[in-house]
Structure 1
């Protein structure tokens, strides 16, 4: 059986003794079941790892190492800071074994972030089989884990107290960075609204989003930023000050009957309920100071997704079509939240190709390019599908 010298691993672990470590052994040449030694390092716990001294010691015990660093994406566009390099991935190999160090950086939204393993032109693409690495194909975001110390083969390491949750996060961890540089350019061109009213709305909308996220997370209901909230996130990395509401999307298969009660118990009374679970469901809750929370439920067809709309006075129904999408994490108003991974396609479906230009007059029944008539609710069903409070 292929084995790596434990003393070699111990020498490297000694340098990262305060780090968060979770590892498997990767035989990238001779063994049939390739696995990887993964070290997940919370940055502020392991300063020495960043220095060339770590590489010197690694090389002294026989390793060849490759490191990838990059500018901090959150500082993109800030000239005085954008040159700052942060460590992203270190890959070291010894004979037929490889060690992959993935640097997790703490972020203000109380989560951990790791960057993309992007090879530069001068780097050896045959150094290890990069395509088989479990981390680095794209940036990732994870809940901040509570750690515990364990002993594995005589080595003291820190691992998450709930390793199962961490492992479950891995296939769904893909992260999309806010377009900070473009957002700054947008706000410079169109002048950021810093009036008292705009700042007050921003604060209320942020609090409402935090409360909605907490409520849905307690229910185990996944959601994403939708409509104007998604547009604000992608276009200007913030809440659109004239939008007057917070918009979320939920797949209809994730609907739970106790959603309404949970929001009411959280202090958000139901404002209206349109449609029904089988067709065009939409919920709206009243937040503080007339800021409302709209939840749109999405239905999947063979080649597209859609959510419904209902006009209360006439019973007319509308359908909003979207190309199929998956969900990724992003950071928005100091929160880790989901947005469609195919963000541009999603936004263009809802707002057209001119979405970069602010529009303050908007008719939900006719302005969206993806809206189409969907008949009229039978009057006999109005008591069920049109409920106003």
Structure 2
């Protein structure tokens, strides 16, 4: 990983992070523990947020794909899973320079909250300070985090695998061939990018019985892509 590039990413991450007060973060933690399902008005707002993010990525030529439970719901059921709480997409870390300086536009244009989350320690091949997640979230009453939320995972390719971490609790990986080539899927009256072998990718992540709904699925306990659990202080 280019050192100069990572320093630039780190500086941008710190600048954006300063915009989020400590109190705001406490409120976010509370809301994340009391998230509402993707139904009704929350679903509509989440779909609108997703379309805005996808249009933003397309505008700047950044490849993305629907990820995790979002991909599962769209492929298996043609919808976002109602018991889910957000939308997940993925981009590659080498595409970050195209958008890192432009993320603030979500705040100024739509009033969304943007948070850049970095790795707090090394977890080979991930490095401390690497951006691991970009969280884009609606607001309520101008200052409170809203219920519509999108998580943009940032993955790195190493030795024919794609690596990422979640919630600083687990290092995950999946064969890169699943996402080296992308396709499109129709959903919500438009197209979205997905892994070309979406069914194979879902079987790798969720198991061969991925077409059977599991509302109690745990993304660490049950995800086949977990490579190692991380130290709680990670």
Residue 264, structure 1, aligned to residue 115, structure 2: no
For the pair 1:285 / 2:136, whether they are aligned, the reply is yes
Distance 1:197 1:347, change over 3 A: closer
Q: In structure 1, how many angstroms separate the alpha carbons of the residues matched to 2:204 and 2:105?
A: 31
Query: Deviation at 1:323?
Result: 4.5
Matches for 1:175-214 after TM superposition, within 5 Å: 198-214=39-55
Rg larger in structure: 1
Instruction: Give the paired residue count.
Output: 180
Deviation at 1:259, TM superposition (A): 4.9
Local SS of the residue matching 1:210: helix
Q: Report the TM-score when normalising by structure 2.
A: 0.67
**Deviation, structure 1 residue 310:** 3.3
Structure having the larger proportion of residues in helix: 2
* Alpha carbons 1:308, 1:317 under 8 Å: kept: yes
Q: C-alpha root-mean-square deviation of aligned residues, in Å?
A: 2.7
Contact 2:171 / 2:228 at 8 angstroms: preserved in 1?
yes
Q: Deviation above 4 Å: which 4+ runs of structure 1?
A: 276-280
Change (3 A) 1:219 1:238: same
Instruction: Please identify, of 234-243 and 253-262, the stretch whose mean Cα deviation from structure 2 is larger.
Output: 253-262
Deviation of 1:281 (Å): 1.2
2:117 to 269, 273, 285: 273
The answer to whether the Cα contact below 8 Å between 1:318 and 1:365 also exists between their aligned partners in 2 is no
Please give the per-residue CA displacement for 1:286-308, whole angstroms capped at 9, x wherever unaligned: 12541211011122122322222
1:165-195: CA deviations, max 9, x gaps? xxxxxxxxxxxxxxxxxxxxxxxxxxxxxxx
TM-score, scaled to structure 1: 0.42
Structure 2 portions without partners, runs of 5+ = 1-36, 121-125, 140-145
TM-superposed deviation, 1:272: 5.5
> Aligned partners of 1:344 and 1:241: how far apart in 2?
21
Taking CA–CA contacts closer than 8 Å with sequence separation of 6 or more, which of the two structures ends up with the larger relative contact order? 2
Cα distance in structure 1, aligned partners of 2:79 and 2:184: 15
SS in 2 for 1:359: coil
Alignment of 1:66-145 (within 5 A): none
- Residue 197 of structure 1 deviates from its aligned partner by 7.3
Alpha carbons 1:275, 1:310 under 8 Å: kept: no
The answer to which of 273-282 and 203-212 deviates more is 273-282
